[in-house]
Amino acid sequence: MGRSEVLMERAQKVIPGGVNSPVRAYSSVGMTPRFIQRADGPYIYDADGNKYIDYICSWGPMILGHNNEIVREAVIRACENGMSFGAPTELEVQIAELITESIPHIEMVRMVNSGTEAVMSAIRAARGYTGRDKIIKFSGCYHGHSDGLLVDAGSGLMTAGVPGSAGVPAGCTKDTLTAVYNDLSSVSALFDANPEQIAAVIVEPVAANMGVVLPKDTFLSDLRKLCDKEGAVLIFDEVITGFRLAFGGAAEYYGVTPDLVTYGKIIGGGMPVGAYGGKKEIMEMVAPVGTVYQAGTLSGNPIAMTAGLAQLTILHDDPQIYAELERKGSRLYTEMAALADTYSRPLTVNHVGSLGCGFFTDRTIENYEDAKTSDTAAFAEYFKYMLNHGIHLAPSQFEAMFLSAVHTDELIDETLTQFEGYLQQA
Ligand code: KE4
């Protein structure tokens, strides 16, 4: 048995499923997860010393690659000043100023500790601001694991084939309405059926938790217009797309302005950070200024702020990073599609910027129902082959591939070579 197998046996005795987040368990691909010992640049190394080109990148945060020297050294220095104070620090002001000065639609921002916390807080602010209870989400979108959002959810729930969760009382989800991604009429119908009751529409502007599903031509701008007409708050959940598609996220990339935005992943530079922000009139509903309560012991933690500020500063100061991510992402994903076509294998590749995924189906994938037609057994075979040939992918058809700034053209060539090897032997 390798170290990962030994560690998994130990882990399963003391941690549910041996993991601290379900998607890491490799359940849908029927393998023992690789226990990771270290990571550097585009590479990750498991407990048996195997080296992989990493396309999980910690599920998005490591956009600069692992162990970025500037971020690491800043964190080490910050630790020498103390780990946590539970009091305001200049660091929190600096990162908030960087975000609000660089992203026009973010007038104020509040730091929390995860994407889940950011989303639940943004929804509470929207409800407090409008005085309305209902929200609209989209099937297949995942917004973290707060009770009210575990409805027709993507990510690990979709991987497990259970769009909901036990332990969530009906009272927690009765105000959560579900629409079809890319289908504006399904949203309008919900507004018509619930006049003046809907506080917010929350959407992943690029859905990346049912695999990657792009917004169709006017979907996001149509949502903007509909929310304006109905007096509802438009929330972009940019936990994945924020600071990835552009510094201003999908809002900048697609030119559509949300009222609130939620962040996670990249904003923390690898440390646990989430955030929500947007219109000042909504954000000033939040305590201690307003009557919407939200709090957190480690919110704005100085070590986490140091990592986030260092990473965001690098991204802000070097826009060429995004141009390169776009170029390399486009090359990787279009060449994957071309190879599958050469070998007559059904593969629909959806991608934008450095985000992408291959669906094992020949259908066009525009929503949750389309995504569910994918051949997850074929995906599992692909995943296993690539892992055994040094490519570390998300262990689920319904997740995304993440490129970092240090994935070179040579590594993309190596990845494509391994992908062709998979196609040749399949
Ligand atoms: P966290 O609470 O995991 O930081 O963020 C929740 C969240 C919110 N919104 C979006 C769009 C997200 O993608 C996520 C979390 N993403 C998953 C990956 N699909 C995290 C990986 C995991 O659950 O282990």
| Helical residues (DSSP H) of 240-344, grouped into ranges | 249-254, 280-283, 302-317, 320-342
pLDDT at 129 > cutoff 80: yes
Q: What is the mean pLDDT of the chain?
A: 97
The predicted structure's pLDDT at residue 160? 82
* Atom 6 (ligand 1) nearest CA: 144
pLDDT digits (tens, 9 = 90+) for 185-236: 999 999 999 999 999 999 999 999 999 999 999 999 999 999 999 999 999 9
Give me the catalytic one of 52, 142, 253, 276. Answer: 142
The predicted structure's pLDDT at residue 26? 95
Q: Clarify whether 237 is annotated catalytic.
A: yes
What span, in angstroms and rounded, lies between the C-alpha atoms of 53 and 331? Answer: 17
The DSSP line for 170-189 is: HHHHTTEEEE-TT-HHHHHH
- Three-state secondary-structure class, residue 2: coil
* Atom 7 (ligand 1) nearest CA: 144
What span, in angstroms and rounded, lies between the C-alpha atoms of 103 and 408? Answer: 29
**Percentage with pLDDT > 90 across the chain:** 96
Give me the catalytic one of 265, 279, 328, 372. Answer: 265
Residue 423 Cα to ligand 1 midpoint, Å, equals: 30
Who's near 123: CB < 8 A, 6+ residues apart?
135, 148, 149, 199, 200, 202, 235
Structural element, H or E, at residue 96: helix 90-102
Average pLDDT over residues 72-76: 98
Q: What torsion, rounded to 10 degrees, do the Cα atoms 149, 152, 155, 159 define?
A: 140
Residue 143 Cα to ligand 1 midpoint, Å, equals: 7
What span, in angstroms and rounded, lies between the C-alpha atoms of 332 and 335? Answer: 5
pTM of the model: 0.98
Q: How confident is the model at residue 46 (pLDDT cuts 50, 70, 90)?
A: very high
Q: Clarify whether 142 is annotated catalytic.
A: yes
Average pLDDT over residues 38-53: 98
Give me the catalytic one of 152, 237, 259, 370. Answer: 237
The predicted structure's pLDDT at residue 158? 86
* Atom 24 (ligand 1) nearest CA: 21
The DSSP line for 186-243 is: HHHHHHHHSTTTEEEEEE-SSB-SSS-BPPPTTHHHHHHHHHHHHTPEEEEE-TTTBT
Substitution candidate for ligand 1 out of 155, 203, 204, 398 with most atoms within 8 A of CB: 155
pLDDT digits (tens, 9 = 90+) for 304-349: 999 999 999 999 999 999 999 999 999 999 999 999 999 999 999 9
The predicted structure's pLDDT at residue 350? 98
Average pLDDT over residues 381-396: 98
Residue 60 Cα to ligand 1 midpoint, Å, equals: 9
pLDDT digits (tens, 9 = 90+) for 345-375: 999 999 999 999 999 999 999 999 999 999 9
The predicted structure's pLDDT at residue 409? 98
Residue 138 Cα to ligand 1 midpoint, Å, equals: 15
The predicted structure's pLDDT at residue 204? 98
Average pLDDT over residues 265-281: 98
How many helices (H) does the chain have, and how many strands (E)? 15, 14
Residue 45 Cα to ligand 1 midpoint, Å, equals: 23
The predicted structure's pLDDT at residue 398? 97
List pocket residues of ligand 1, CB cut-off 6 Å.
Answer: 21, 23, 59, 114-116, 119, 142-144, 155-156, 204, 209, 237, 239-240, 264, 274, 399
pLDDT at 163 > cutoff 80: no
pLDDT at 412 > cutoff 80: yes
What span, in angstroms and rounded, lies between the C-alpha atoms of 315 and 75? Answer: 17
Q: Which of 399, 390, 419, 387 is nearest to 33 (CA)?
A: 387
pLDDT at 426 > cutoff 80: no
Structure token pair of residue 234: 């438009």
